[in-house]
Homo-oligomer: A and B are copies of this chain.
Amino acid sequence: MRLDDLLGRAVLVFDGAMGTMLQARGLPAGACPDLWNLERPDAVVAVHREYVAAGAQIIETNTFGATPARLAHYGLADKCHAITVAGVRCAREAAEGRALVAGSMGPLGALVEPLGELTFDEAYAQFAAQARAFAEARPDFIIVETIADLNELRAAVLACKDHAPSIRIIAQITIDPSGRAFTGTDPETAGLVLQSLGADVIGFNCSVGPDLLVDAVARMARVVRVPISVQPNAGLPLLTPDGTTRFPMGPEEFAAYGPKLVAAGASLVGGCCGTTPEHIRRLRAAVEEMKPTGQPGPLSETLGLASRTRSLFFVEQNLPVVIGERINPTGRKLLTRDIKEGAFARVRDEAKKQVAAGAAVLDVNVGVPLIDEPAAMAQAVRVIQGAVDVPLCLDSPNADALEAGLKACVGKPLVNSFSLEEGRAEAVLPVAKRYGAAVLGLTIDERGIPASAQQRLEIARRLVAAAEAYGIPRHDVVIDPLALTAGAQQAEARETLRAIQWITDELGVRTSLGVSNVSFGLPNRPFLNAVYLTMAVTMGLSMAIMNPLEERMMDTVRALRLFLNRDRNARVYMQEVGPKRLVHTVEEALKIAAGEGRAASPGAAGIPAAKGTSAADDTSAADGARAADGARAADDTSAADGVRVAADTPATAGTPVADGTPASTAPALAAATAPAPDAGVPGPDPAGDALGRRL
């Protein structure tokens, strides 16, 4: 078996630090390390050889700073190509076929907008220049690393995909001791976004030691199906009295974390700053006998959307997801005027108000006639992402506007929409795939909107197939079976509800609906909309595009979540907690699932009205109090982690887990997705129950 066939099946070991090793060989402080690929290739090859001799199975080229922008600090901007190609040559020479070569691509050293001055296109051009050199030199991987800004990572991954399309990409984010990147991105969000963008391996490097990365690896492992890599520093750097930096963790201590990182989900391990060939030798020995867990994350087949900092997974406990519809100029004069004039204060305001009211996603539509809609869409995305931290739903019939929004959007948005109308899928799907977005498909074909649920289902099948043909996985496809006006198409109001169930049951995808159209022309529209929303959610609707500022609609969502047992102890409904947060952190959701396993088990089922169960009642009250405490504890940590996920995935879950499941590790989450044989609430068809079969 060739070494690169082992990816994901065996634990592979990277090398360690390069710069300090070159300094030890005479590289002056302040000199350009990458230039040695051309000037002192013997030294570079020698360092590589030390790591290969120590057992490294993948060695990184000495090209970390070889983008033109970084080389410009040394007046070497025009040497990007030569240095990069020479770096790969040095590594190949040292590897002698005993190690794979990963072409290193580091940060630009300047922040990308909106954090800094560099435009996204400028960043992209920098990475593209180095990627073209790698495309020629052909390392086994390009490793994009030591970058903390998710937007900069996006630019790098896109540039590699475009300019070195046949070379596998390892994308590594750098996080703080807090567990997040300094820009706020958490491990799940990094995993979700980078995987959607097409990275082949995702992970972490630098900044902190292995002790602080075990949990980050475990969190990322929940959401990705690709291998995870991790290259810690030799501990947190200490400044010594003489002004130099010292890394406190010796080889033995460092290597002791190897098995923990692998157990948490990593299948590629290595070292970053402060590590030496001895660290790597010990590390290789520590993990030599281990296998990667090899499990795709329990949420890796679940629809997830993300802002820059947070992820929202469409697990049962978080449904229905409210998508705020108010950033849309249709029928709104002031908003239309503002967008036409390029004034986005009202857009920002609508974003904040909707999120405060409970919207978990915001629809963004800037469709004003005769404007530069792509520019307006990009600007709206930037303004909204500067104001709130929820994922976006980019809404336009204009494919160019969608592309501009996708490029501007940091995170994983939903593209609204495509259909089977002439040319629409072909225009939208490749762009959505390129930027790693989920897609919303409308059940419209060449002939328009069909009459029946059956025809809607047939179109939905074709929509899913079309998305899959462009490489968008099925779980990233959302189907909108279109709510029509009950006043004019009364039978179809029911057909749409049926279609929700059939599409959910057969295709296993999430569904969305803009419900307000259903009441057009009828009296008491808000009331009718709330009833129809209730029916749709009962039939399995996953998300509603609606106005979160309408109290009646939000009250309805809260009541639905109460009755569907997705609002544990009615906390949100009772408004016992401050903000009306309608989605759960993964810890909350795990506690809910575990608590439900208890409450619903035959022994503990308490029914006050029924005879002979009062003792059980006392038990369940105690359980309730415990669960509430647990949820509050999870709340406290949620500010730090900020991930909104829940325990069961649509593909396999549904049955609450049994008691005693640990609540904060990846294996626990995996356990939550397997049916618990002794759970009290088994359905006749536990497998079909995955999406709740409507409930």
0 or 1 for each of A676-695: is its CB under 8 Å from B? (1 = yes): 00001111100000000111
Is the C-beta of A610 less than 8 angstroms from some C-beta in chain B? yes
- Chain B residues near A562 (CB-CB < 8 A): 486, 490, 493, 522, 528
Closest Cβ of chain B: how far from A536's Cβ, in Å?
9
Q: Which residues of A, 402-458, contact B by the 8 Å Cβ criterion?
A: 444, 447-455, 457
Among B506, B518, B539, B563, the residue within 8 A (CB) of A694 is B539
Is the C-beta of A532 less than 8 angstroms from some C-beta in chain B? yes
Interface contact B600-A491, CB-CB below 8 Å: yes
Q: How far is the CA of A620 from the CA of B485 in the complex (A)?
A: 14
Interface contact A447-B612, CB-CB below 8 Å: yes
CB-CB nearest in chain B for A679: B452
Q: How far is the CA of A535 from the CA of B449 in the complex (A)?
A: 27
Binds B, one of A82-90, A174-182, A236-244, A552-560: A552-560
Interface contact A563-B607, CB-CB below 8 Å: no
Is the C-beta of A211 less than 8 angstroms from some C-beta in chain B? no
Closest Cβ of chain B: how far from A619's Cβ, in Å?
12
Closest Cβ of chain B: how far from A447's Cβ, in Å?
7
Interface contact A570-B532, CB-CB below 8 Å: no
Interface contact B524-A555, CB-CB below 8 Å: yes
Do A565 and B497 contact each other (CB < 8 Å), given the known contacts A451-B605, A681-B453, A684-B502? no
Closest Cβ of chain B: how far from A86's Cβ, in Å?
60
Is the C-beta of A564 less than 8 angstroms from some C-beta in chain B? yes
Q: How far is the CA of A3 from the CA of B139 in the complex (A)?
A: 97
- Chain B residues near A539 (CB-CB < 8 A): 538, 694-695
Is the C-beta of A602 less than 8 angstroms from some C-beta in chain B? yes
In the complex, the count of this chain's copies comes to 2
Interface contact A570-B613, CB-CB below 8 Å: no
Interface contact A497-B563, CB-CB below 8 Å: yes
Q: How far is the CA of A444 from the CA of B611 in the complex (A)?
A: 10
Interface contact A527-B498, CB-CB below 8 Å: no
Is the C-beta of A534 less than 8 angstroms from some C-beta in chain B? yes
CB-CB nearest in chain B for A538: B538
Interface contact B563-A681, CB-CB below 8 Å: no
Closest Cβ of chain B: how far from A639's Cβ, in Å?
26
Do A570 and B534 contact each other (CB < 8 Å), given the known contacts A565-B494, A680-B452, A694-B539? no
Is the C-beta of A574 less than 8 angstroms from some C-beta in chain B? yes
Among B493, B683, B684, the residue within 8 A (CB) of A563 is B493
- Chain B residues near A563 (CB-CB < 8 A): 486, 493-494, 497, 518, 528, 531-532, 535
Interface contact B606-A522, CB-CB below 8 Å: no
Interface contact B608-A490, CB-CB below 8 Å: no
Among B452, B485, B528, B693, the residue within 8 A (CB) of A682 is B452
Among B484, B534, B609, the residue within 8 A (CB) of A607 is B484
Q: How far is the CA of A611 from the CA of B596 in the complex (A)?
A: 49
Among B457, B527, B560, the residue within 8 A (CB) of A684 is B457
Interface contact B565-A490, CB-CB below 8 Å: yes
Is the C-beta of A488 less than 8 angstroms from some C-beta in chain B? yes
Is the C-beta of A487 less than 8 angstroms from some C-beta in chain B? yes
* Apart from the given pairs A497-B538, A522-B570, 13 other A-B contacts in the complex at a CB distance below 8 Å: A451-B600, A451-B605, A454-B682, A457-B684, A490-B565, A490-B568, A490-B599, A491-B596, A491-B600, A493-B562, A495-B600, A495-B681, A531-B534
Q: Which 8 A-B pairs have the closest CB atoms?
A: A451-B605, A448-B610, A538-B538, A449-B610, A534-B534, A531-B559, A452-B681, A535-B538
15 A-B contacts (beta carbon < 8 Å): A449-B613, A451-B681, A452-B605, A484-B609, A486-B562, A488-B620, A494-B564, A497-B538, A498-B683, A501-B694, A522-B562, A528-B562, A531-B560, A532-B559, A532-B563
